Amino acid sequence: MSIPQTKDDSTYVVKYMPLHGRSGLTRMLLHLAGAKYKNEFVTMPDVAANRADYPFGHVPVLIEHRADGTTFELGEAIAIEHYLAEKFGFLGSSPSEAATIKSIGLNIYLELMTHCFSSKLAEVSKDPESAFSKLWPQFLACHERWLNKNGNNGHYIGDKISLADLVLVNWVRVLEKMDVTIDEKSPITKVVKTIAALDVWKEGEWEYFHPFNSVAVE
């Protein structure tokens, strides 16, 4: 297993609140790629009072300062993640692999988003009649099938980290904080353990990038 190595002379600014949340995966991609970036923290009242300062009136926003002096600004978390994943080599080695990786990541997001930010998810997950309890077995079966098809090696595609792996890990960590458990023998658990075991994490960094964690104000 390897992390893609891509030369990049840009520096980045991640505009978001002082927590990971919807910008956590963006920061993780930048970290894994060894990119130079800093955080620009905002508050929701500030954003609400200055909607025109943001591409779509909300955060997160990525600002890229390129070596040639130009600046690129991008809104919407999924678009940001796709852009960075493509730039840093986390979208496979062909257009078809890139499309597959994006489709897996989008499926994870679209299937789980409705449920994962409800404070009652821990209760709902134990209710056999809830929409989540009906969805969850189907979700597990689908993604375990994908991972087993690739040899249950801790990745969705080949033997390299892709955006799909990182999206899965991010959402599994959200679910775990909401008392949703996944079997230790599941191929999904293997993906989490594979990413957690990367040498790139210095002491404390794996936990630092948890989607529910705050980000230190610089």
CB 60, CB 77: distance < 8 Å: yes
What residue segments make up the domains of the chain, in order of their start? 11-88, 95-196
Does the domain at 11-88 match CATH 3.40.50.920? Answer given as: no
- CATH T-level assignment (fold) for domain 95-196: Glutathione S-transferase Yfyf (Class Pi); Chain A, domain 2 (1.20.1050)
pLDDT tens series, the chain, 218 aa: 557 666 789 999 999 999 999 999 999 999 999 999 999 999 999 999 999 999 999 999 999 999 999 999 999 999 999 999 999 999 999 999 999 999 999 999 999 988 877 667 778 888 887 888 889 999 999 999 999 999 999 999 999 999 999 999 999 999 998 889 999 999 999 999 999 999 999 999 999 999 999 987 65
Q: Which of 197, 146, 137 is nearest to 168 (CA)?
A: 146
CB 131, CB 139: distance < 8 Å: no
Residues 98-125 pLDDT 10s: 999 999 999 999 999 888 776 677 788 8
CB 209, CB 28: distance < 8 Å: yes
Residues 151-160 pLDDT 10s: 999 999 999 9
Token pair in block for residue 59: 């955060």
What pTM, to 2 d.p., does this model score? 0.92
